[in-house]
Structure 1
Amino acid sequence: MIKKLHVLTLVVAFAFLGDVFGQDSVVVKAKENRLIAKANENYEQYSFSPAIDIYERVLSKGYVSADLLKKLGNSYYFNADYKDAATTYKRLITSYESDAGPEYYFRYAQTLKTLGEYEESREVMSTFVDLTSNDNRAEVYKDEKDFLEDIKNNSGRYDVGPFEYNSSYSEFAPSFYKKGLIFSSNRDTGNFAKNRHTWTATDFLDLYKVNADSVSENKAVKVEDDINTRLHESTSASTKDGKTLYFTRNNIVEGKAKRDTVGVIRLKIYKATKANGVWGDIQELPFNSDTYSVAHPALSTDEKTLYFASDMKGSLGESDIFMVDVNEDGSYGEPVNLGSNINTEARETFPFVTSEDILYFSSDGHPGLGGLDIFATKIENRNFDGSVANVGEPVNSMMDDFTFIIDEDSRKGYFASNRPEGKGGDDIYSFLETTPLLLDCEQQITGTVRDKISNELLVGATVKVINEENEEILSTITNSEGKYELFLDCKEGNFVRVSMQGYITSEEYLARSDGKPKIIDFYLDRDTVTAGFGDDLAKLLQLSTIYFDFDKYNIRKDSEVEVEKVIAAMDKYPSLRIKVNSHTDSRGKDAYNLWLSQKRAESTINYMISKGISSERVTSEGFGETKLINQCANGVNCSDTEHELNRRSEFIIME
């Protein structure tokens, strides 16, 4: 007679972070087919997904624990069911605040943000920050309403010092000229008025140069020839050969200031050319106007594009940043507004473009510390849609900070500010950039994915990048060598998540970084277990150990939840039969321990029977101290905790 075997196939898909699981799965059809081919046509097959289904069954009966809520919440979280995840995590931190731990506050905040609950997310994230001290996510935390965190993250990257040519008047608008600088000052006018950065400034500023030639070495002298007038000159930009100078001047006609219809003296950009060592041929640019201002020129590295500020028609705010083509024949194209990503309804002004195509500008429309702040954005290939970043303190302050320039070879530069500790109305400050600002930063992430036990390279594993809003940014699969390559935004925090059929999902968080390439190798635990008779259901369900108190055989309250998980599984699979094996520690007489373990096994199945499980589906056996799981045998000195590990129950699958 052929013995009939009932093989139970259990496929348990656990999405782990640490040692907790989170996502359920179904029996893979190919796996079913292989089992069917191997087994008798009378084999019974089960598709067993314990995570969400069984835990919900347990909760519906009123049994709850912190561990259960953690695992259920993670089940929803890793399956992108953020609504149910948020509900579960809220219950966890409300009912088990001391057991929740910072990780669950973090995930709860993320789910709330995904659901658009920004204010509540911010409150929960604040708790996460309070609970952590060295977690990168706490350092880079931000949300849509907390721009100060962004500024904080960008601060501390500059060593700021004095500018030796400041006076008790105003100095601002430094620009590189030859090996020195040109800047604007009212030091010869006796006018102490502050804040030159307005469209209507009427005090008389002039352009000065330092260290640009033998005449200006170690002192500030006026730019010679016809550049300066009795009116206002400021903000300049020169070509690399020093032969062309663009600068800002009051609208002037026949040597006199010209006002518009409302009495405002507008600003215009002029171009001067040096020939035989003399500045001359001064012309105003064709897109100037008597009805709006055009000011603050800046040249691209190739000198084919001129950037400037204006309130001309088409401006979004009080002043916008524009660009215009500089043609080879000396003519100009049509001015183009840089768009709403850069320009706001307020003031954007004082542009400067670096050799690495970073546009710096001042604004009081983007979130800042107060007044005008300096911002930066990448504009490579004339793409103006990149992120706009506040450069942070100490360059920015609660006052107006503007006219920022930097040499990207030396990382040295200058800016102006009207902060109260200055020497004059506006002062120029020098700085050294010690850490580059991360703008549209792309970081290469490479690595392999392997089986944790066999070290076998896993081909076809899915590798995803998930942002802090739980949105999938990109994904790839491992190649024939188990390798992957990704490029992610290193100025933001990201999760790199690896999944593969038959394995536990693994994830690593990457905080914002300096963009250096990083290698991350993943070693995945298997999550598919084919169980025959004699296997322990507790391992498949990831149960906590069913513990008993010393010299007791009644089930402890903290173990009832674990037994309920077994009951839920048996409710779902009516033909599932279980043998409960109970064990004791080595303390006490051997015969007594054997009796005690049998009583514990019987107590366990009696509990299950009291909850509706048929007595025909459960049996029990006590093993006393015959199967210890550690060294704590008779005569060995062990702690109470070590002894407790031996006081346990197992749930063995039966025919």
Structure 2
Amino acid sequence: MKKLYIALSFVISTAGLQAQNTDTAKADKLYERYEFVSAAEQYTKLVDQGKADGYVYKQLADTYFNMFNTAEAAKWYAKAVETDQDAETYYRYAQMLKGNGQYEESNKQMRKFAAASPNDQRAKTFMENPNYIPKLMGKEKMYDITSLSVSSEKSDFGPVLNNNTLYFTSARNTSRKTYGWNDEPFLDIYTATYNTDGSINEATALTELNSQYHDGPVTLSADGNTMYFTSDSFRESSFERDRKNKLKLGKNNLFKATKNGDKWGNVQSLPFNSKEYSTSNPSLSHDGKTLYFSSDMPGSLGGVDIWKVAVNADGSYGTPENLGKRVNTEGNESFPFIAQDNQTLYFASAGKPGFGGYDVFKVKLNDSSEAVNLGKPVNSEKDDFSFSYDQEKNIGFFASNRSGMDNIYGANPLCGLEVLTVVTDSKTGKILSNAKVSILDDKNNVIATEMSNSKGEVGYNVECNKTFTIQASATGYESNTFAVAAVKTGTTTKVAAMLNPIAEIIKETQVVLNDVFFEFDKSNITREGAYELDKLVEAMKANPTMVIMVKAHTDNRGSDVYNMRLSDRRAKSSVQYILSKGIKKDRISGKGYGESEPKVNCGEGCTEAEHAENRRSEFIIVKK
């Protein structure tokens, strides 16, 4: 049922489709009337009678595609592609195979789609990473999910929590006539009480807003007194006539209602509605200034895109704006939900790489990062959509047809933390883009490394209650580390990574680094040692005439000969590392001095601290 709000209204394009012959006329007419259940029956009869050809197979496949019956759709697309090499047929076939978990075969059809339509962004994205499924499968789990008792035996979707009321859309009203698309009743808006223990009371229809047509999903203002909702354009007697098929073709439209006491009323159609295109699935920002919605209006990149429009203080609206390629594709994107931070957008996409059907993605609108697939278990091989998240209660909701019917699920976030690092010049405050930022766990293992964006930012999502370290480096600057303390609850921790210009470590006679550590009795460069030596590399690159002599020292424990040899190996290892970074041989040399030049001349009575001072490397400037 949610396809009414993902596809082009509850109408899909049938341009160019004519009854192939008198045998298909009855089935074609049902298809053109969007009565897909009955149309499938008629096309199947033609197959049983031996009257099927490529046209019938394609129509039958598309019929099941519109109902998202992946098994039947894939079965008939396999027949259709024998004679129909249209790019979109390959694409739909691939999506249905993916919906059945047949990823290898899906990839074969996607390659055919890419060959037939190489400039389609969906094709380009696939060819850049055709085997992305294993990576998605290995994605760290972000949520635990639960089936909610508020679901019925009919379609239920579009859940959104406002204060302690859960609003959602359902076809459970069995007193209503059925809709030919899928033989379910028309959609209505329902409410249920969300209790402090997480239970949800029995649902009640929102009778003052429900009409004889489709109604819902909805979005509400933060105070709960303003609602935007989807309904059919028939509500305002707005439609186009298809006289041939004796149809009135309506569109999904957006409406606004306000609460007066405990009742909703004052229903108004939004000014950018049209009988030429659909507008649906609204989501209002927490500050009430921006309304997000889905539409196939002119300017869309694909079938249905996600748009936004300004909500002005005087109640008027701006001009709708397409959210562009970071969100939208040549496929369908729908069900936007803007989080309470007014920046994090969740949405459903059938065009971006996913597990199958529609997957839920999220994207930060205030930076240039790519949309992120929420992974399993929120997403599955079927349709997963209409995700919403209540930050105050730390609970998400979404709908999925993974069980064969659109049902509502709860999504409980696993405790997560965003570590947002901002890299700047410590002296001027200048933002440093293209800085290298790594995040390390409590055992100093590098988890991930990224380059900072134009705002100097890199964000990492990590687990709560753990400590981390940020390493940041930039050309012309001294690299540095920054501790990230353990945080108990999911939030954003900001790290101010202020880097000193590399000139700060260049003194009169030497380049001053922190200790370059080696493992006990070894001379190989460790990761920690390499991190320090990288500072010397930066200094030498910034000063191309500089010549360095590496002097390695030990404490006085062990024999003189042993210490001399160990320190010499360590000095030469340091030199080799510097050379590996592109510094020429005539600019770097090294020698071990063992215990012959102690920094602290403490003899046999050295403390551990004094021994540590004597175990050192010095980077002497031979020539500036």
When the two structures are superposed, what TM-score results if normalisation uses the length of structure 1? 0.47
Q: Which has the larger radius of gyration?
A: 1
- Which of structures 1 and 2 has the larger relative contact order (alpha carbons within 8 angstroms, sep 6+)? 1
